Amino acid sequence: MLGTCRFLPSALLLAVTALPSGGLAQQPTKATIVQMHAVIGVGEEVFLYAVPKQLGYFQAEGLDVGIQGAQSGTVSAQVIQSGGAQLGTTAPESVLQMREQGGDLVAFYQIKQNPGTFLVVLPDSPIKRLEDLKSKTIGASEPAAASP
């Protein structure tokens, strides 16, 4: 019994020193993803943010990642260029504009296989083929803007 009592303080000291210390633990690196649309919903942000966060990939890499929306691809590119975010989605035109203005954005392509914008008509519309649009006026958002 006496031998066990002498061993216990040494074992506790070893156990306490083996525990991670709050002061010694490395803080995660903060990073932000900026999306080229204001509303964060179910889109590419699922694969860029929600899935990796839920699966612990960011934490495993020592990252504390947040996400924010922007009004357009141009604004998203400006946020990244200014250092307000480390990565994000934008339009190719926005990256090229930034680079022409002396920016150093680097882009890789492509997250999704379509631009996210489609031409649609009501089922009873007289427009059935692309040729039916001849002499018609159609509206579209700016190419670097995102749909709400």
Number of domains composing the chain: 1
Global confidence as pTM: 0.59
Residue 141 forms part of a structural domain? no
pLDDT at 76: 93
Tell whether 139 is covered by a domain.
no
Q: Is residue 82 part of a domain?
A: yes
Domain membership of residue 18 (yes or no) is no
Burial classification of residue 99, based on how many CB atoms lie within 10 Å of its CB (0-12 exposed, 13-18 middle, 19 or more buried):
middle
Task: State the number of CA atoms in the 13 A half-sphere of 132 facing the CB.
Answer: 8
Residues 101-134: tens digit of each pLDDT? 999 998 887 666 666 667 788 999 999 988 998 9
The token duo for 12 is: 């506790």
Q: Phi/psi of residue 34, each to 5°?
A: -110, 130
Confidence of residue 146 (pLDDT cuts 50, 70, 90): very low
Q: Which domain holds residue 87?
A: 27-110
Q: Is 61 within the bounds of a domain? A: yes
When mean pLDDT is compared across 30-39, 44-53, 94-103, 106-115, the lowest value belongs to 106-115
pLDDT tens digit sequence for 81-108? 999 999 888 888 899 999 999 999 988 8
Mean pLDDT over residues 42-57, rounded? 88
pLDDT of 116 reads 61
Does a structural domain hold residue 9? Answer: no
